[in-house]
Amino acid sequence: MLRSRLFINNQRLNAAANNNPVIRRGEPDRDAVRLLQQALRDLQVATMRRSIGADGMFDGDFGGETFRALKRFQHDNSAGGATGNGTGIADRETLLLMDSLLVPLNIAPLTPTTAAAAAPPVETSATLARSTPRLPTGTQLRQQYGAFTAVGGKPCQRGITHQCAIRLTIALARCNIGFHLSPSRVGELYVHSPNSTLCGGGLEAHDASARRVFNYISGFWNFTAYSIHRSMSGRDIYARIRDTPAIIYFHRLSGGTNHIDFFDGARIMNDELNYAAPGEPRRGRPDATFQATRRAIHVLPLLR
């Protein structure tokens, strides 16, 4: 069934291409996973550097890096699940699509003698943009958000009122975790010139839409979604995640807007630092924005 030079001779991948069964996290067939990892690297989905051993060969471990890279491939190609964010599972749809992209490349499986030469020697801004950024810690984000108090929470001077997404993307870029915004995947992208003292230089691009930024980062980081309903209120969600730092996306506040922010375990930064720009939540009870959310709260827990 599979036709590419990379996949054609591997029985496990051909079985997965028939969903018999699919390949997922913890897959025991390391040879099949190695080929999958090579495909993700050669299709420029991710560098897969954490999965490359000292000999230059892929480790064959279907762990977090492979899962996130596969999920990104699915997200970018509208495959692997109805949500559009991907499943991180190598199923029929995903493998056939990947195989069709590999056929014209005519890439052979790596061997120990060719692997070292094929591995990129160093990370660059180009390869980092294709890899999965590391998660920041709560301490890192808290420090970066604190810097925005000097500009009243409005690092962008373009007259944008809702700057929650701008704060998050700039803070992530300053955390040295390999985070970049991709212009091809974000609609309204601003890149500040080096003479912009507020946003801090040309590498710190940002987007002004909380929804677009959430869709972008949820393509490689796994948020937990809590839907608002009679038996699960915003206050209940706050009580459940309290004391854990997190990036949180509030889907549909009472005023009709969305909001994305860093939560330090007690308050979101709009409340904690009291710099709400026009149109954003104002300082109030620690759980006020949670209670004002009408549809869902998406939570990405962070280490302290």
Pick the residue with more confidence: 182 or 29? 29
Give the span between the Cα atoms of 195 and 209, in whole angstroms. Answer: 24
Task: Please check the confidence at residue 196 and state whether its pLDDT lies above 60.
Answer: no
Task: Please check the confidence at residue 197 and state whether its pLDDT lies above 70.
Answer: no
DSSP code, position 298: E
With cut-offs at 50, 70 and 90, classify the pLDDT of residue 128: very low
Mean pLDDT of the chain: 82
For the chain, give the percent of residues with pLDDT over 70. 81
The angle subtended at Cα 204 by Cα 165 and Cα 197, nearest 5°, is: 100
Question: What type of residue sits at position 18?
Answer: N
* Structure tokens belonging to residue 231: 């038996």
Which segments within 60-149 are labelled E, that is strand?
A: none
Q: Considering the entire predicted model, what is its pTM?
A: 0.57
Pick the residue with more confidence: 174 or 198? 174
Least confident range from 50-54, 121-125, 170-174, 276-280: namely 121-125
Task: Return the top range by mean pLDDT from 112-116, 129-133, 241-245.
Answer: 241-245
C-alpha dihedral (151, 275, 180, 96), degrees to nearest 10: -160
Q: Which phi and psi angles does 244 have, rounded to 5°? A: -115, 120
Task: Please check the confidence at residue 248 and state whether its pLDDT lies above 70.
Answer: yes
Q: Residue 281 has what pLDDT? A: 59
- CA distance to 18, 29, 78, 220, per residue, from 70 (Å): 18, 17, 12, 9
Q: Which phi and psi angles does 296 have, rounded to 5°? A: -155, 155
How large is the average pLDDT for residues 95-111?
91
How large is the average pLDDT for residues 269-296?
78
State the residue for tokens 């005519």: 106
Pick the residue with more confidence: 115 or 8? 8
- Residue 52's nearest CA partner among 28, 78, 34 is 34
With cut-offs at 50, 70 and 90, classify the pLDDT of residue 80: low
Q: Residue 117 has what pLDDT? A: 47
Work out the number of other CB atoms within 10 angstroms of the CB of residue 296.
17
Q: Residue 36 has what pLDDT? A: 96
pLDDT digits (tens, 9 = 90+) for 148-195: 888 878 888 777 777 889 899 889 988 888 787 765 555 556 666 545
Pick the residue with more confidence: 82 or 10? 10
* Cα maximum dimension of the chain: 62
Q: Residue 49 has what pLDDT? A: 74
* Structure tokens belonging to residue 240: 């459940």
